[in-house]
């Protein structure tokens, strides 16, 4: 890479002349170049056509009531910060609040180049270990929540859905994103009976618009199901469909008795728990991309 060679020569020249200012500037340029090279490396891992697309991203709390509801809300904040860091846009589609705190589930539409390519690496069960703020005795608590991503497909992609296979329910909007429309039954829930896929939307005052958005979500979910069936790595792809609990987690976030976040698929870990929960997730996703690329390149080899 010519840019790298030129920069090396500039640093050597600055050292020979003892120009501290030029040396400092050169090292800053070197760090920027390394970041650029890393980004170029990451770009090579987006090899699937659907990686380029926007995506729907969902978080669901596991068993455990308030604890898991609070953990789901923490994950929602974590991914919201990651989305902001990447300058993506997102639209809240649906959110169901917990009874006492946190959320039971949330769905957002993430808009940005390669949104699905990034977020598909987060599909699975996430485990939290901490001293519970909801336990008066200060006991350590383990909570679970799951994340799932599926691409927003183009309107011209023909996904045939028979109306007789749908059950459509309307209900009164509530919670975040719904408080401005909670006087009418504008929220929509659609169940695709053959696959038992359920989507819902309450982001708009209009029942018609909510239904249209829910149908887009349903088509995207069915499209993703078809992609999964074609994948030889189906077990990993469908990890989110397993029980949201012990033995199924892809990543653990341990806040007590020590500080550690570890991805069990790649063994990548960091003690920077605060930074991770504040949205610094790129290295976790990057390591998973490398693993996928390695497995794809060595598929079928002995």
Over 80: is that where the pLDDT of 117 sits? yes
Tens digit of each residue's pLDDT (9 = 90 or more) over 45-64: 898 888 999 999 999 999 88
250 with 198, same domain: the answer is: no
Boundary of a domain, candidates 203, 229, 255: 229
Same domain, 267 and 128: yes
Sign for the CA dihedral angle at 265, 266, 269, 274 comes to negative
Is 214 domain-assigned? yes
Q: What sign does the dihedral 245-253-76-238 (CA atoms) show? A: negative
Tell me which residue range forms the domain holding 37: 2-43
Could you tell me which of 68, 58, 85 has the C-alpha nearest to residue 278?
85
Contact 59, 76 (CB under 8 A): yes
With a cut of 50, say whether residue 302 has pLDDT above it: no
Model confidence at 19, pLDDT cuts 50, 70, 90, reads confident
Q: What is the pLDDT of residue 232?
A: 44
The answer to whether 120 touches 236, Cβ cutoff 8 Å, is: no
Q: What is the C-alpha to C-alpha distance for residues 79 and 75, in angstroms, rounded to an integer? A: 6
Q: How far apart are CA 5 and CA 231, in angstroms?
A: 42
Residue 35 φ/ψ, nearest 5 degrees:
-65, -40
Same domain, 71 and 170: no
Average pLDDT over residues 20-46: 79
Q: Are residues 122 and 193 in the same domain?
A: no
Model pLDDT for residues 221-253, shown as the tens digit of each residue: 888 887 777 664 444 544 444 566 666 799 999
Counted domains in the chain: 3
Q: Residue 113 and residue 122: Cα distance in Å, rounded?
A: 17
State whether 31 and 58 are in the same domain. Answer: no
Place of tokens 């390519």: 117
- The reply to whether 150 and 178 lie within a common domain is no
- Whole-prediction pTM value? 0.75
Listed residues 205, 229, 253: the one ending a domain? 229
Report yes or no on 56 lying in a domain.
Answer: yes
Whether residue 302 lies inside any domain: the answer is no
Q: What Cα–Cα distance (Å) separates residue 103 from each residue in 42, 98, 119, 172?
A: 33, 4, 20, 18
């Amino acid at each position: 890479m010519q840019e790298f060679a030129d920069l090396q020569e500039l640093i050597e020249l600055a050292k020979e002349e003892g120009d501290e200012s030029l040396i400092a500037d050169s090292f800053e340029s070197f760090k920027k170049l390394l970041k650029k090279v890393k980004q170029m490396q990451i770009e090579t891992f987006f090899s699937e056509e659907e990686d380029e697309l926007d995506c729907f991203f969902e978080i669901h709390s596991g068993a455990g009531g308030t604890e898991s509801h609070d953990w789901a809300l923490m994950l929602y904040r974590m991914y919201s910060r990651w989305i902001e860091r990447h300058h993506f846009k997102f639209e809240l589609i649906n959110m169901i609040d917990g009874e006492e705190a946190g959320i039971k589930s949330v769905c957002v539409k993430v808009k940005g180049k390669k949104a699905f390519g990034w977020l598909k690496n987060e599909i699975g069960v996430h485990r939290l270990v901490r001293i519970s703020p909801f336990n008066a005795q200060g006991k350590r608590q383990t909570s679970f929540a799951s994340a799932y991503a599926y691409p927003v497909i183009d309107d011209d992609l023909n996904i045939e859905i028979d109306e007789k296979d749908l059950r459509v329910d309307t209900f009164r909007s509530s919670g975040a994103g719904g408080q401005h429309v909670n006087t009418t039954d504008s929220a929509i829930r659609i169940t695709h009976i053959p696959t038992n896929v359920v989507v819902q939307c309450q982001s708009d005052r209009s029942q018609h618009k909510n239904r249209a958005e829910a149908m887009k979500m349903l088509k995207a979910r069915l499209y993703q199901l078809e992609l999964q069936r074609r994948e030889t790595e189906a077990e990993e792809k469908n990890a989110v469909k397993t029980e949201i609990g012990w033995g199924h987690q892809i990543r653990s976030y341990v806040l007590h008795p020590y500080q550690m976040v570890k991805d069990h698929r790649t063994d990548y870990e960091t003690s920077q728990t605060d930074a991770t929960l504040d949205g610094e997730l790129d290295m976790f996703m990057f390591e998973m991309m490398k693993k996928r690329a390695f497995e794809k390149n060595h598929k079928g080899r002995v």
